[in-house]
Amino acid sequence: MLNEVPVHELNRRIQEVINEVKPNIVFIPHYGDMHLDHYIVSQSSMVGLRPIGKNKTLEIYSYETLSETEWNIPHTSNSFLPNTWVDISNNLNKKLDAMSLYTTQLKEFPHPRSLEGY
């Protein structure tokens, strides 16, 4: 329900985290995601990650969220067009273990948000 939080407040809070952590690499939800909270986090993160002041973030990646990103109304302004892939083979079991804890988010296969779909 981030749409109920004033944008300037969310921007400020994200900026505080960026200033504290000083990340070199950041992963954010893709702005074309149909989940409103994901879209808002993407927008506010980019405000905080602008290369001004002390911010020295070197890389910003947006990621696809299965059954959110690809289900939006397709349009040239919101298409997810990946150009970088990260091999998570060595950590896939940890990811699946973590995902299994989100019982309210899991669906039956062949839904993309099933453990088998990941």
Least confident of 16-25, 82-91, 103-112: 103-112
How confident is residue 1, by pLDDT bands cut at 50, 70 and 90? very high
- What whole-number percentage of the chain has pLDDT above 90? 64
Q: Average pLDDT in the 1-22 region?
A: 95
Q: How far, in Å, CA of 116 to CA of 118, rounded?
A: 5
Sole residue written with tokens 């690499």: 25
For the chain, the distance separating the N- and C-terminal CA atoms, rounded to the nearest angstrom, is: 26
Q: pLDDT (tens digit, 9 = 90+) per residue, 47-89? A: 999 988 777 888 999 999 888 888 888 888 888 999 999 999 9
Q: Write down the domain spans for the chain.
A: 2-86, 87-118
What pLDDT score does 74 carry?
Answer: 82
Sole residue written with tokens 């669906």: 107
What pLDDT score does 112 carry?
Answer: 83
User: Which amino acid, residue 68?
Assistant: E
What pLDDT score does 75 carry?
Answer: 86
- What whole-number percentage of the chain has pLDDT above 70? 100
